[in-house]
Amino acid sequence: MGDAGSSIVGKRVERIWKDVLGVSRDEMNASFSELGGRGMTALRIVARIQAELGVTVEVGDVLDHPHLADFVRHVVALSRRPASPDERDR
């Protein structure tokens, strides 16, 4: 996926994060936990990314990349990787 596709993925991930966590403009730099994120919230983010973008993200990825900018970079990087045989069979 090229830079244009990455930009689209990044914007969609950002929208999902903001929608699920209810992020206001003043909270853009707050971490997942500072925004009230918990396990079920992480599951919702992961499920929406999978459903809307077809990118497999783990709940642990949300916790390992708790700031939006870092999480977006991580998901964009994942979107560039070829799917493993297990992921293609889903």
CATH of the domain at 49: 1.10.1200.10
The confidence score (pLDDT) of residue 25 equals: 80
Decide if 89 is inside a domain: no
How far, in Å, CA of 73 to CA of 13, rounded? Answer: 10
Count each helix (H run) and each strand (E run) in the chain, helices first: 5, 0
Task: Determine the pLDDT at residue 3.
Answer: 53
Domain that holds residue 29: 3-82
Report if residue 19 sits inside a domain. yes
Structural domains in the chain (count): 1
Residue 52 placed within a domain: yes
Q: What is the pLDDT along the chain (90 residues), one digit of tens a residue?
A: 445 557 899 999 999 999 999 998 888 889 999 999 999 999 999 999 999 999 999 999 999 999 999 999 999 999 998 766 665 555
In this structure, how many other beta carbons lie within 10 angstroms of the beta carbon of residue 38?
A: 9
Asked whether residue 48 is domain-assigned, the answer is: yes
Examine residue 32 and state whether it is found in any structural domain, yes or no: yes
- Looking at residue 1, what is its pLDDT? 42
